[in-house]
Amino acid sequence: MNGNGDYVRNVTSPRELVLSFYGLVVQNPPVESDYTVTTAAVALGSNRGQRTGYLVSNTGTNNVAIGWSRGVTLTTGILLETGGTLNVDWYLDQDLVMYPIWAISNAGGTTLHMVEKILTGE
């Protein structure tokens, strides 16, 4: 049901969701960033607006753990081996996309590449 009490079909993107509720089309452009992850937790994310999804790829040579707490460790986070990816999307993971993300490595100098989808009013 939309904001007017009308039933609408299942939406499959943030753009369709906003359009069905507010009658507006908004963009969801990607924002790409690279991070150097060490043995101390590193915050990931651009903080540029409402994030609707992200993809994190371990492009480095060491294992990394991803978590939603600054206290993430290699044994408490989601293991992201070299060449591995983590994909989080609003449709499947709901509010998880909005929380801060942290990464930690078992060695210094590991690289992560992140692509975020940011909902904008443009």
**pLDDT tens-digit profile of 50-104?**
888 999 999 999 999 999 999 999 999 999 999 999 999 887 888 888 899 999 9
Q: Which has more confidence, 62 or 8?
A: 62
Q: What is the pLDDT of residue 13?
A: 74
Q: What is the pLDDT of residue 47?
A: 76
Q: Report DSSP letters for the chain, one per residue.
A: --TTS---PPP-SHHHHHHHHHS------EEEEEEEE-SS-EEE---SSEEEEEEEEE-SSS-EEEESSTT--TTTSEEE-TT-EEEEEHHHHGGGGGS-EEEEESSTTEEEEEEEEEE---
Is pLDDT at 122 greater than 60 in this prediction?
no
pLDDT band at 121 (very low <50, low <70, confident <90, very high): low
Contact between residue 32 and residue 113 where contact means Cβ atoms under 8 Å apart:
yes
Q: Is the pTM of this model over 0.85?
A: no
Q: Which fold has domain 26-119?
A: Jelly Rolls (2.60.120)
